[in-house]
Amino acid sequence: MRSRRAWLASGLIALAGCASTVAGDASQPFVVGAVVGATAAGFHAAGYLRVEQQGGDDVLVAITTERAIRVTVMGPNVAMTEASGASGFPIQLPAGEQMLFTPGGDHIMLERVATDLVAGEQVELRLEFERADDIVISADVVAPADLLDRAPGAGS
Ligand SMILES: [Cu+2]
């Protein structure tokens, strides 16, 4: 019997497929299950997603959004601190691999969001690659208590 987490993950994959501009194009990266934690204006919002690369080697150059000053990468595998001013980008995306931003691991931070991010709404994120076309996705804003269930993880 499939776990609730697995069921949720498959639902998220379907949603991400609708939101991605390049879904189904095997030569392009695509994004699965993007969520952002509900956050009050002025604070940093954590974001989680999985980027899969079925094409050749590429580089994730940046993630941007109109809802925050900038988007950075944080976590145990990122050689930076918030104080260093570095963004954590660019990130290598080798052919056939995936990049997982997950709770407890590396994640993205939407720095000082301009207005409240309210659970139930969506935030547009633009992923910029060295080779592939930009991908624009709509990440679901999720209450903090629901993030572990909704975010992509190693088990989903
Ligand atoms: Cu963070």
Q: What is the pLDDT of residues 57-103, one digit of tens each?
A: 999 999 999 999 999 998 887 765 455 567 889 999 999 899 999 99
How many Å lie between the centroid of ligand 1 and the Cα of residue 16?
Answer: 23
- Share of residues in the chain with pLDDT > 70 (%): 77
Identity of the residue numbered 102: T
How many Å lie between the centroid of ligand 1 and the Cα of residue 68?
Answer: 14
Q: Which of these ranges, 5-9, 44-48, 57-61, 124-128, has the smallest mean pLDDT?
A: 5-9
Integer Cα distance of 11 and 147 in angstroms = 15
Integer Cα distance of 16 and 42 in angstroms = 27
How many Å lie between the centroid of ligand 1 and the Cα of residue 96?
Answer: 27
How many Å lie between the centroid of ligand 1 and the Cα of residue 87?
Answer: 12
DSSP codes of every residue in 27-68? TSEEEEEEEEE-B-TTS-EEEEEEEEE-SS-EEEEEEE-TTS
What are the structural domain ranges in the chain?
4-150
The structure's pTM equals 0.79
Q: What is the pLDDT of residues 38-58, one digit of tens each?
A: 999 999 999 999 999 888 899
How many Å lie between the centroid of ligand 1 and the Cα of residue 108?
Answer: 6
For 5, phi then psi, to 5°, come to -60, -45
Q: How many angstroms from the chain centroid is the CA of residue 109?
A: 9
User: Alpha-carbon torsion 55, 101, 44, 78, what sign?
Assistant: negative
Say whether domain 4-150 belongs to CATH 3.60.21.10.
Answer: no
